[in-house]
A and B are shown apart, each in its own frame.
Chain A
Amino acid sequence: MKKILAVDDSASMRQMVGFTLKKAGFDVTEAKDGSEALNLAKQQGFDAVISDVNMPVMDGITLIRELRSLPNYKFTPLLMLTTESGLDKKSEGKAAGATGWIVKPFNPDQLLAVLKKVIR
């Protein structure tokens, strides 16, 4: 079972993402900010990370940069969740090592469709 780390400071989004991915047959771990996610990612391996950008403590861009610099996450798909008004964040995320982005708001089907690009 592929393991996905879902990072969002909003509990409802986290639950929605987590629930959707679990139903699609993924093993999902949730984290509420970048720093918690980074610790989890260091302790266990994940096949993909989906992270919100705007979060307290450590934002998504920093998380992606940190993750990409870890040997275990060299090739791992790292996706960021952005809103359309945050599109300028895309290039920043890209520079930090993000694999791609998912536009918020999204529904469960859209999430899975996008995720299919990098993990199956």
Chain B
Amino acid sequence: MSIDLSQFFDVFFEESFEGLDAMEAELLNLEPGKEDSETINTIFRAAHSIKGGSGTFGFVSVSDFTHVLETLLDQIRDGQRTLTAEHVNLLLKSVDCVRGLLGALQAEEEPDLSESNELKARFEAILGGESAEEAEGEPQEDTTQALQSTTYQIDFKPEPHLFKTGNEPLYMFSELAELGQLEVTAFHDGIPDFLEFDPEDCFLHWRFFLTTSKPEQAISEIFEWVEDDADIKIEACGGLFEDDTNTTEEINTSEAADLPDSSAVAEVSAPEIKAEASPKADENIAAVQKKVESAKNTKKSADSTATSIRVGIDKVDSLINMVGELVITQAMLSQIGDQEITESSIAALQEGLTQLAHNTRDLQENVMRIRMLPISFVFSRFPRLVRDTSQKLNKQVELKLVGEQTELDKTVMEKLSDPMVHLVRNSLDHGLETPEERIANGKDPVGTVTLNAFHQGGNIVIEIMDDGKGLDTEKIRSKAITNGLISESDDLSVEEVNELIFMPGFSTADSVSDISGRGVGMDVVRRNIQALNGSVEVTSKQGVGSTFTIRLPLTLAILDGQLVQVATHTYIIPLISIVESLQIDISKVSKVGKGLEVLRLRDEYIPILRLYDIFSHQGAREELDKTLLVVVESDNYKIGLLVDDLLAQQQVVIKSLEANYQKVDGISGATILGDGTVSLIIDISGLIKLSGLRRPGSTELLVDLKGEEAEPV
């Protein structure tokens, strides 16, 4: 049977990568001397599965390498060897190595074996060369097979319990028959009296004469599974040579003479069987190679980023349930549509539409849930990172992960990883002190870095906390002055100073270290997070620690929007950024420099942005008292957007403007409304930039009149 193994490759790669992640996580949990057997077992199982799979699917480089891994783990598991820190380090390196090998294989490239060979040699050194010997001593095909047929007498006397092992003698016999010429005699002398007869037991025994060119091993293999459950005797009792000069084999001539017919058969069948046997293996290899090649050709442009996600069956079930509901509603509506329109049918129609809206919303929420994955997918890479980094820095660090089950959209998660790595590295490198410094400051020599994730409203909040020395405000200030970001005279609060670390081209590290500060600054972190509609802030107390807080929307695909009208156009403002909407009290509007209007709202001054002005629309209402002001908040600043009217609130599906048109300043995307028209979604922070409200290089809005009275209009 020919089965194309390549169809299982994707699943194999996916589960192997998962296995490697699990191995890595468990390895990091291991403390030599304190290892528990379940952890070792999990690691072993992962290595074992990868080895088994790679062997089966023909990835020899991986299976060879994982074999030594597995051997070592097996010895540790059985208590033959004690786990050392060196083992853990080596195993961690191997995880990376196997990941590399598999990655190359997945991309259909030739894997680089230099690292794996080196690691393998080190494992073999630990194992004392055992595995090298083992590899040599691995079962080899019997090549000494002589070109001759031998007749064997086989006595097979099973124990009564044979059937209860699940073995079937009849199948064994037919296998024997496949080896050559077979003669069978069954003996039933062991069958007891009826009263003692147990129908579940085996009382028969057999004698066979088999003439075959196969080695004796082939026969014993057939009985391999019942060796201990039966009395089996295999004796070579004679044979016929096809090569007359070979006389080393013991021959019982009388027996052989008794079987003239079988020898004739054997002569014919022997070369056939041999011819079939050995090229078969080559064929298999050739077939596999061919398949790999053909796979290469067809998937030349295989995109390794095309990933899949695993979805719990409960999520799929609830989806199917929803779709079922939807179908029922649709059936109901079409039934109403078929009827004559009457007053009562209109009521039923409305009811049906309400239900449809309800169903659609449920379905949408559930589909979104499919994309949601626990943040542990990102968190899980940090134990390793922290371990490696802290070793490099000679710092003692404990990593705490909180809220690992908090769910987050997969796309957001992928983009979140890099900024988080940067922030964690930063905490380790700049935040935490060395053990000596910590002891001198009366702190626990072991520093703590905590990753905390939780949901807050429609956002996910991720905190990266360290109990290190905190941000050095003075240093930041003087550095900012040197870099010309602020001037000597600027009187900034601690928070404002701390904000400066997110400015482009800012780095306080005295020397650029290997760990962080390799040119990628905090500004990039902030930019990346803002690109996800998120924000990042820092709070810090000198000597106590720092906390970086990342806030992100749960998903990038859907947004709760407020539809607003500007002239004849409909825009969408993300509901989450709206603080309030109000009619303007003209008496509270003041004009400040450059003709900017501000509204005094309670104790704050809100700059007014006229949307029609920014987007150059004609025919909008311009009188402040006839329009509405939508107060929105972004990056901790409030601004007011002047709109003609507020329309409905609805969930909108975000379509990328960049993918379909081009990037437009002040607009984060577009959506299609119920009536089919395209509506643009306003990007608040982009809008602030566009309006020129913010001084370049400053976090302050041009208008910040706190505590200072503005001139009335």
Contact surface of A with B, Cβ cutoff 8 Å: 9-13, 15-16, 19-20, 23-24, 48, 52, 54-56, 68, 74-78, 81, 83-86, 94, 97-101, 104-109, 112, 116-120
Q: How far is the CB of A72 from chain B (nearest CB, A)?
A: 12
Contact A10 B71 (CB under 8 A): no
Where the two chains meet, the residues of B that have a C-beta atom closer than 8 Å to any C-beta of A are 1, 3, 5, 7-9, 11-12, 14-15, 42, 44-45, 48-49, 51-57, 63, 67, 70-71, 74, 138-139, 163-168, 171-172, 175, 200, 222, 224-225, 228, 284
A76, A81, A86, A112: the one contacting B166 at CB < 8 Å is A76
Check A16 against B166 for contact (C-beta < 8 Å). Answer: no
- 4 more CB-based (< 8 A) A-B contacts, given A9-B45, A13-B49, A118-B166: A16-B5, A76-B166, A99-B165, A117-B225
Tell me whether A13 and B171 are in contact (CB under 8 A).
Answer: no
Q: How far is the CA of A100 from the CA of B167 in the complex (A)?
A: 8
Q: Give the Cβ gap from A55 to chain B, nearest Cβ, in Å.
A: 7
Contact B15 A23 (CB under 8 A): no
Q: Can you list 24 residue pairs at the A/B interface with Cβ under 8 Å?
A: A9-B49, A10-B49, A10-B53, A11-B15, A12-B15, A16-B3, A19-B3, A54-B45, A56-B45, A75-B164, A77-B168, A83-B48, A85-B67, A85-B74, A86-B74, A98-B166, A99-B165, A101-B225, A105-B52, A105-B63, A108-B5, A116-B171, A117-B175, A119-B171
Distance in angstroms between the alpha carbons of A100 and B63 in the assembled complex: 24
Contact A107 to B56, CB < 8 A, known contacts A54-B44, A83-B48: yes
Known: A77-B166, A85-B74. A16 touches B175 (CB 8 A): no
Decide: B171 and A120 in contact? CB cutoff 8 A: yes
Report yes or no: A104 in contact with B52, Cβ–Cβ below 8 A. yes
* Complex Cα–Cα for A119 and B222 (A): 14
- Given contacts A15-B11, A16-B5, A117-B171, whether A107 and B284 have CB atoms under 8 Å apart is yes
Cα A86 to Cα B49 in complex, Å, equals 13
Which of A76, A101, A109 is the one whose CB lies under 8 Å from B1? A109
CB-CB under 8 A from B56, the residues of chain A are 12-13, 16, 104-107
Which residues of B are found within 8 Å of A117, using beta-carbon distances?
Answer: 167-168, 171-172, 175, 222, 225
Q: In the complex, which residues of chain A have a beta carbon less than 8 angstroms from the beta carbon of B52? A: 10, 13, 52, 81, 83, 104-105
Contacting residues, chain B, for A105 (C-beta < 8 A): 52, 54-56, 63
Query: Are A54 and B48 CB-contacts (below 8 A) given A75-B166, A77-B167?
Result: yes
User: In the assembly, what is the distance between CA of A109 and CA of B8, in Å?
Assistant: 16
- Contact status B225-A12, CB under 8 Å: no
Cα A63 to Cα B48 in complex, Å, equals 19
Q: Given A10-B52, A116-B171, is A74 in contact with B225 using a C-beta cutoff of 8 Å?
A: no
Bound state CA distance, A76 and B165, in angstroms? Answer: 8
Q: How far is the CB of B514 from chain A (nearest CB, A)?
A: 38
Chain A residues in 8 Å Cβ range of B172 = 117
Closest to B50 in A: A10
A112/B42 contact (C-beta < 8 A), A15-B11, A83-B48 known: no
Q: Which residues on the A side are within 8 Å of B54 (C-beta)?
A: 105
**Residue of chain B at shortest CB distance from A77:** B166
In the complex, the answer to whether B49 meets A104 with C-beta atoms within 8 Å is: no
Nearest-Cβ distance from residue B429 to partner chain A, whole angstroms: 38
Expressed in whole angstroms, the Cα–Cα distance for A99 and B166 within the complex equals 5
Inter-chain contacts of A118 with B (CB < 8 A): 166-168, 171
10 tightest A-B CB contacts, nearest first: A105-B55, A99-B166, A100-B225, A12-B12, A77-B166, A105-B56, A12-B11, A10-B49, A108-B3, A104-B52
Tell whether, in the assembled complex, residue B11 and residue A11 are in contact, meaning their CB atoms are under 8 Å apart.
yes
Closest to B38 in A: A56
